[in-house]
Amino acid sequence: MRQTPTAVSWSKLLLSWVVGFPTGRTMVTPSRDRVHTATRSRDNELTYLWLAIWVGVASGLYFVLRYRGHWGEVDSAIFTQMVGSLPDWNRIKYPNNYSHGYAYSLWAASLSMVWNVDIAQLQRWVTPIVGNVFLALFGYVAFRRWLGSSKLGLLAATSLFLVPELIFTVSRGNHEKLTATLTLLASLSFVRTFQLSKDISKWPVVVSWVVVHYVIIFTLVSLNAFFGAMFVYASLISYGLASAVLWFFPAARRDLRPVMRRFALLALTSLMVMFIVQWYVYPHEGESSRILASILDGFGTVRATGEANSDPYALVQNDWVSRRAYNVVSSFRFVLLGVSFLTWIVLLLRALTRLRKTPVERLFLLTLYGSFGMLLAIGVAIDFLGISAGSNWQVRIYTYFSAFAVPLFVLGVHGLRSLLSRFLPRSLVKHAFATLMVVFIMCSLLKATLDPIVSNRWIAYKVTEMRAIDFWFDNRGDDTLNVGGNMRLYFGYVMQYGWRPGTRGVLETNLSPQAPHLIRSTVNAANAVAWGIPVPAVLLDDWIYDNGESQIVHRIPRTPFQQ
């Protein structure tokens, strides 16, 4: 029978959680080496590993099965076409290749050829599952080292799936499924070099991890010169932050000098690897410098006018059925930001008060969180500049930030759960948290799949729509077909067949005179209602094709010259 806590005990416990976190015998002290998996059996670790893979497989399966593999979106469509062109050219630099990196095209094309799977099918069916499994697997192996506990590592790995942006990122068919997941591996190799270097006898293992780290950095930058180098940027910022903090703690600075030296070496060598790839292995025609120039231009305009050039977030909210729905499916974002930030503050204060006793991986975790937070803030600022290179920097950097926010979130939740277990039945607390996480995962999946129930920006298409477009191309040659108010069917067509309309015919969304025909379908009509935009006025009796679900209609009244 548990005693009812008094007001004093409440405050003591709260204080102990806030200040002494994690404390007490019942709490796991994951950062302590003495706890480090000492009591964990090999079987348990295997169970956790399988659980993580289970989550990854199930998430990937849901992503592809939600639309029966009939999905398409902008980046996936572009990459599908680019990957499809690579085998024709037999080289990594070819016309219309991805200018920021070659590795994804190479990887996907290799898989396609080795498995003899059509690139479009690979992109729609296989790589989403691979991406989700990578996320779970790499997340688990990395976080169990960062958090010093397999159990917490599992919780953190599964928590990655509560971030819908991460599921979307690793599911869709572009380089991000590898850059996001390999960043986790990079963090693992990074932390292992420091953890193992305490034991001088393990130097061959340390060297191996260092080599692995550089290989991963090389791969990351080869995938994307900018986002692949996120960990390098964050490492450099972390080094700066750590150096600045240690300036005020001379004793700790002395103690940590070897660590900082190794840190500097690792970060700077990674930077060199990055430059080697960008300048020599895959010089990408000044793309990065153009982006940098447009960022500087944007800042100049903002400084001159005092006003933001654009507000991409207003547009994002239009993509959802309502603001409330957007907030619900995005609710974990606020939970993650709040809990991780609070935990970060608590742990940071604690680390600063016991700098010399705080494990080095904990220090790195805190500085990396701060660094990615800074990058996120920069991303938000860039979004408001409205530069040509895109207006979703925050969203894309957020995925990397969340990968380092999740461990802190798990530490915070674990502490909170332990705290609540003092006052409430343990099983009740466990069930409550499990239920909450199940709700979050459902929200996450709804958002990650842009489910029509909550989203207006649909990614699904129907086979009958593709049949209608096929009919058009077979019979109308190079003529232009209007596919509705957005690019859903355009992207869908690329994902279905692996090539871009325009080589055979043209699909467009503008109601220009050049596109006198348009495709009508139940999905297009429903999507138009969702967006709140009218279906273009069409001639209701002038259909040239109908397969029961999709029609192609002539939308301009007959003229003396109509063909």
**Which residues sit at the interface with another protein, rule CB under 8 A?**
48, 51, 54-55, 57-59, 61-62, 65-68, 70-71, 151-152, 154-155, 158, 161, 321, 430-431, 433-435, 437-438, 441-442, 445, 451-453, 460-464, 477-479, 513-516, 523, 525-526, 528-530, 532-540, 556-563
Given CA atoms 336, 338, 343, 349 in this order, what sign does their dihedral have?
A: positive
Alpha carbon 181 to its chain's center: 8
Q: Among residues 41 and 435, whose Cβ is nearest to another protein?
A: 435
Q: Are strands 517-521 and 506-508 parallel, antiparallel or unpaired?
A: unpaired
The two tokens of residue 563 are 């063909």
Q: How far is the CB of 418 from another protein (least distance, A)?
A: 13
DSSP assignments along 234-294, one per residue: HHHHHHHHHHHHHHT-HHHHHHTHHHHHHHHHHHHHHHHHHHHIIIIIS--TTHHHHHHHH
Q: Among residues 144 and 175, whose Cβ is nearest to another protein?
A: 144
Burial class (CB in 10 A: 0-12, 13-18, 19+), 179: buried
Q: Among residues 154 and 291, whose Cβ is nearest to another protein?
A: 154
Q: Among residues 155 and 256, whose Cβ is nearest to another protein?
A: 155
Q: Among residues 353 and 562, whose Cβ is nearest to another protein?
A: 562
Q: How far is the CB of 322 from another protein (least distance, A)?
A: 10
Spatial CA neighbour of 140 closest among 49, 231, 67, 239: 49
Q: Among residues 389 and 556, whose Cβ is nearest to another protein?
A: 556
Q: Among residues 66 and 362, whose Cβ is nearest to another protein?
A: 66
Q: How far is the CB of 544 from another protein (least distance, A)?
A: 13
Q: How far is the CB of 522 from another protein (least distance, A)?
A: 8
Alpha carbon 190 to its chain's center: 20
Q: Among residues 315 and 525, whose Cβ is nearest to another protein?
A: 525
For 4-32, b/e burial (b = at least 16 CB within 10 A) is eeeeeeeeebeebbeeebbeeeebbbbbe
Q: Kindly report the CA angle at 284 between 278 and 288, in degrees rounded to 5?
A: 75
**Residues linked to residue 71 through DSSP beta bridges, in sequence order:** 460
The two tokens of residue 319 are 């993509």
Spatial CA neighbour of 448 closest among 134, 165, 58: 165
3-state SS string over 383-427?
Answer: HHHCCCCCCCHHHHHHHHHHHHHHHHHHHHHHHHHHHHHCCCCHH
Q: Among residues 190 and 461, whose Cβ is nearest to another protein?
A: 461
Q: How far is the CB of 412 from another protein (least distance, A)?
A: 14
